[in-house]
Chains A and B, each alone.
Chain A
Amino acid sequence: MSIAATKIVRHIRLQIDDFDEVKVSDYQILIFLNRALAAISTAVAARGLDFLTASQTYSGSSASTGANLPDDFQTLKEVTDGSTGYTLTPTYITKTPAAYEYKVMGEKIYCGAASYTLFYQKFIGPIDSLLTDSVAVPGYCLGLIVQTTVALMQGTTPDVVVQLINNIINTDFPGMTYDKQRGRVIENAG
């Protein structure tokens, strides 16, 4: 489940009519593509869409020392106990978490459980190479990435870009998502 950067660049150059690479360099595209991925990550995470959800399992209590959050951590969804699978409870920032509690402070997670799993919304990108890298998102995100990158390259203001991203999500993205609390697939809340 990923889109090759070469494919994204091909679509961007088609959109701006510059296959000859005379108006815009690959360097420019790389810079704006990474900005677009950051903006998309934030917008998608805010809407709680499933495809950005990732997990990391920790073994050993980190109640006092803390354990590093994943490099692509963006927002927290849930922390579950490693042995029972039950959802753990967030606690006060000043308290050392008990066995059923956790807290996030700085770049670390502190949790009293012997083992636990962190579910989080990951951050997409940045990529380093337009030739070899790929973006780990579903194929239907291609239009969103292309349109957002082009909008940023054309100097579109951030508030308009956010609106654009939300509009494309409304039209391009599959409308159903799995709702954990209800235990069934529901329509995206938007």
Chain B
Amino acid sequence: MNVSEAIIAVRHRINDRDEVGLDNEEILSYLNSAIQYICQALATANAPVLVDDLTINSATATLPKNFIKLAGIFPTKITGNTIKLLDTPPQTIRYFTAYGWPDMNGEMPFEQDALNEVAVQMAAIYANNQQELDVSQDKALFGEFTTAILAAAGIGGNGA
């Protein structure tokens, strides 16, 4: 799914097909917020789709910008944006990474369309909320969808 398709999908959900309510830039910002939120949720649930690895060849290094947390414990000490190896380099760490922000012409970051669909759903709720519409029913539905999707992906909310 590319970003323009996602924006159209959001417009369908908020009944703004004619682009009279929100402009594309605003919807894109909601989509990006949703993507960041989903990444945090997936990292909390220890989802392997977010794991990346990094070989550090010096005693200290700068953390990657998209670093969320380490996947397990490694002999390292993190201070601010610096990671220091407690053992002799090189050492390879595994960590959860957040996806970058796509622009208007880009692709949605998740390979799985189910996750992109969650992002669209969330962006629609953000958009309706911005317009001061009642989103309580949307939130309830969204909670159920998210639980169902994570369960289908074999990812429990407790990291199991």
Contact = CB atoms under 8 A, between A and B. Distances in A.
- Contact count band on B: 10 to 19
Interface string B100-120: 000000000000000000000
A62 B113 CA distance: 75
B80 interface: no
Nearest to B75: A27
B94 interface: yes
Contacts of A187: none
Contacts of A25: 70-74, 94
B75 A21 contact: no
Interface stretch (B18-26, B46-54, B56-64): B46-54
Contact of B74 (A20, A22, A27): A27
Interface in B93-142: 94, 96
Contacts of B48: 20, 22
Contacts of B75: 27
Interface string A14-46: 000100111111011000000000000000000
Nearest to A28: B73
Contacts of A22: 46-48, 51, 71-72, 94, 96
Nearest to A20: B48
A27 B70 CA distance: 12
A167 B75 CA distance: 33
B46 A23 contact: yes
Interface of B: 46-48, 51, 70-75, 94, 96, 159-160
Interface of A: 17, 20-25, 27-28
6 contacts: A20-B48, A22-B47, A22-B96, A24-B72, A27-B75, A28-B73
Ranked nearest first, the 6 interchain pairs of A and B with the lowest CB-CB distance are: A25-B72, A20-B48, A22-B46, A22-B71, A24-B72, A28-B73
